[in-house]
Chain A
């Protein structure tokens, strides 16, 4: 069983090719679910233990985080429509996948996100202005990765899986028990980078978790065209154990992530998690999904909404009091107002700022280019001498 295996394996104990036919690397059944779409708690003999500490207060706190990041998403989308952000990649529908996974992490774990994990950034402690400024075009980076152990968002599809694997190999060399987690989407599993990362992660049994949010659409490409097997069956070919969980079920996501992180910490090597969820909004604010997506599909997934599901569970448990509702709403309102004011009040970058942070130490080439550019800029304010090019 998976949980018994956790912690036992070390690198040289990893199954060799000759054994691979005899082991089952897929665990948790076809789709691990601990809360049904109707909000009923489903008991699971193997995974219940991983969330048994999640009590009433924690459930309310997960609900708060999910509601807040949905509000961040709505406010940022509005800010883009108002010309205050150049672009925004919405996370609507993926709240359980992002909150369930990021809330399972320790502070010293290191996370490598794609561009859609704004909810993860919020949980890791990024300031709202830090989340907004890259999308406003005011800076080429959002936050200090070393401060919150969260790499800057990767726009290139899937390449952060390589960074995560490399970082995890470094953790091994340090002998630390930190775990590393890479976020990517369904489309990224078709990229060379993710496949190469899985080769290295398996070969070195690196302490990395590949967390794939299968939101069903790689921009306009549906996942069924990309893969003829379930995405969770792709890593097993690399000898990486995998789980397929209901990505709209925050408890199932937490349980699976905790299993994977625990295995990584104890030297059990990499794990792949396919969180089956749905991108309910456009790919980015520049996209129109009605051109390629059947509206009926969206309706089907709206019935499986991650926040609605947790609400139903809280209601059934009698936890959703007026007090809790008011507290969550106040928090979401405050966060949205903070995001708006810090975004709009952001000072514009200066043209010469582009030369900062290229090198960590003084560099004569950059200094020379900076000097040329500054003289070029000043020529706009002076009469140009004849012949000066």
Chain B
């Protein structure tokens, strides 16, 4: 056999106090030859999406985790087959600590306890820069004054006795070596009766407890059977922050208008049969997006921004039209630059491209920034109306409801028509009810009779 050996790459702490990261994708496959520092994977931490460079030159022997898996820091994620002698890793002794190369030879395997200590998330402290991941404390209250309850202490007058609850909240008393022993053995000290002075849990207590099998299931069993707890991170965390910021800085007003869009649906059918639109994806969203852009011409106030820092109102003389998109990684609102300059054909292909890119998770940061107004198409979920929250920094957002057949009064008689609800939220700091209402009325007028565009451009 040639002189090769297997080396593992353990997931490192990629950013000052992180406990886990999600594997987004592998850039290599088993059997691939990799060079030192070649990008092998993309992972998402609580702070950033980063690329992992290979620590070795060699061949990929195994990928231990699937894309989409959240991996604890210190767990092996990939194994390499590398030359025994001329390892590109510098040839020095492998360093201890998380993420270092660990040689899994017969006597080189790390002990279970050492691996446990490396992977233990509870030991991380808040980091230097101050915005690192918040560690979830696992049933370990912070240290507080010890409660003396030893027999030798004279009886305390009842009035100043320590409340029962506080005694219960105290961490079980033990010494650090005993705590480590318990952790190594996988024993929860909360359920170990202490026989030492003041209820101190001794080494013997822990060792004796190892044999005790009848642990009440309610205490020792996994706590997660009836609920699943997912750490708040990535896009979810970002979305939450953006929504909170928007909802609590911009006073939102939402207006509704239900319109008869039969004429628009007829127009859509006509355009689909038109040869110039062959190969283009036309939907109610296409027409509604165009209608929003036309309606903005007479109501530009809705295409503006409140600049708190400079105490100025920014009126955009262009429209970067944001479209809310549900992607595998969560909600994103990419926008179409200078959408007001586009023809219906161009707008149609821009919308198709934008949604395809977003669904593939390949939207670039520049496509996500600089939006001036947004549309959210809740109709695709069969929903009629809602009170959308503004994309931060924008003055208005339109929610498009589902198009459905409904009884409608036409020429004083009931008729079955295609009807759609429009919901408009706007920032009342910049947009008054009058301007918002006029915009929504114009939008409704176009969708109920597209010929009305003639009066607006």
Closest to B50 in A: A81
Asked whether, in the complex, the Cβ of B129 is within 8 Å of the Cβ of A84, the reply is no
Q: Is B91 an interface residue (CB 8 A)?
A: yes
Is A286 a contact partner of B16 (Cβ separation < 8 A)? yes
In the complex, the chain A residue whose C-beta lies closest to that of B54 is: A82
User: Is B142 at the interface (CB under 8 A from chain A)?
Assistant: no
Within 8 A of B (CB), among A364-389: 376, 379-380, 383-384, 386-389
Known: A287-B47, A340-B89, A341-B90. A86 touches B203 (CB 8 A): no
- Given A380-B177, A387-B196, the answer on whether A345 and B92 have CB atoms closer than 8 Å is yes
Contact present for B178 and A384 (CB under 8 Å): yes
Q: How far is the CA of A255 from the CA of B209 in the complex (A)?
A: 75
Q: Which residues of B contact A136 (CB under 8 A)?
A: 95
Q: Which of B6-14, B295-303, B444-452 contacts A (4 or more CB under 8 A)?
A: B6-14
Beta-carbon contact of A344 and B92 below 8 Å: yes
Which residues of chain B are within 8 angstroms of A343 by Cβ–Cβ distance? 90
Structural contact, B15 and A84, CB atoms closer than 8 A? no
Given contacts A82-B53, A287-B129, contact A388 B175 (CB under 8 A): yes
Most buried by B among A286, A340, A388: A286
A83 near B37 with CB under 8 A, answer no
Chain A binding surface, main DSSP class: loop
Contact present for A348 and B53 (CB under 8 Å) = no
Would you call B90 and A348 a contact (CB within 8 A)? no
Contact residues of B between 83 and 135, Cβ < 8 Å to A:
89-101, 127-129, 132
In the complex, the answer to whether A82 meets B12 with C-beta atoms within 8 Å is: yes
Residue A107 CB within 8 A of the other chain: no
Q: Quick check: is A280 within 8 A (CB to CB) of the other chain?
A: no
> Which label, helix, strand, loop or mixed, suits the secondary structure of the B interface?
loop
Please tell me which stretch of A95-103, A160-168, A186-194, A289-297 contacts chain B, meaning at least 4 of its Cβ atoms lie within 8 angstroms of it: A289-297
Chain B positions within 8 Å of A285 at CB level: 14-15
Is residue B391 contacting chain A, with contact meaning CB distance below 8 A? no
A84:B100 contact, CB within 8 angstroms = yes
In the complex formed, the residue of A with least CB distance to B146 is A389
> Interface range on chain A: under 10, 10 to 19, 20 to 34, or 35 or more?
35 or more
- The answer to whether B15 touches A341 (Cβ under 8 A) is no
Q: In the complex, A136 Cα to B47 Cα: how many Å?
A: 20
Tell yes or no: A240 within 8 A of B by CB: no
Q: Is the CB of A225 within 8 A of B55?
A: no
Partner of B97, one of A83, A286, A341: A83
B90 and A344 contact, CB distance less than 8 A = yes
Specify which chain A residues have a CB less than 8 angstroms from the CB of B89 in the assembled complex.
Answer: 340, 344
A290 touches B196 (CB 8 A): no
- Indicate the size class of the contact surface on chain B: 35 or more
B16 touches A295 (CB 8 A): no
What's the minimum C-beta distance from A12 to chain B, rounded to whole angstroms? 44
List of A residues within 8 angstroms of B127 by Cβ: 286
Q: Which of B47, B95, B178, B204 contacts A84 (CB 8 A)?
A: B95
For residue A284, CB closer than 8 A to chain B, the reply is: yes
> In the bound complex, what is the Cα–Cα distance between A87 and B101 (angstroms)?
18
Contact A384–B129 (Cβ < 8 Å)? no
Cβ-defined contact, B197 with A387, below 8 A = yes
Nearest-CB residue, chain A, relative to B309: A225
Residue A155 contacts which of B13, B15, B128 (CB distance < 8 angstroms)?
B128
Q: Which of A96-146 contact B (CB under 8 A)?
A: 136-137
Contacts of A379 in B (CB 8 A): 175-177
Interface residues of B in 4-45 (CB under 8 A from A): 9-16, 37
**Do A384 and B177 contact each other (CB < 8 Å), given the known contacts A81-B50, A83-B100?**
yes
Q: Provide the bound-state CA to CA distance between A225 and B202, in Å.
A: 59
Given A287-B129, A384-B203, verify A84-B175 contact (CB < 8 Å). no
A33-88 contacts to B, CB under 8 A, are: 75, 78, 80-84, 86-87
How distant is the Cα of A347 from the Cα of B92 in the complex, in angstroms? 10
Q: Is the C-beta of A346 less than 8 angstroms from some C-beta in chain B?
A: yes
- Identify the A interface with B (CB < 8 A): 75, 78, 80-84, 86-87, 136-137, 155, 219, 225, 282-288, 290-291, 294-296, 337, 340-348, 376, 379-380, 383-384, 386-389
Which residues from chain B sit less than 8 Å from chain A, CB to CB? 9-16, 37, 47-53, 55, 89-101, 127-129, 132, 175-178, 180, 196-197, 200, 202-204, 238, 309, 364-366, 369
- Shortest beta-carbon contacts, A-B, top 9: A83-B99, A345-B92, A83-B12, A341-B90, A288-B48, A286-B15, A82-B55, A286-B16, A78-B53
A sample of 9 inter-chain contacts (CB < 8 A) reads: A81-B52, A87-B128, A225-B309, A296-B366, A341-B92, A344-B93, A345-B91, A345-B95, A389-B175
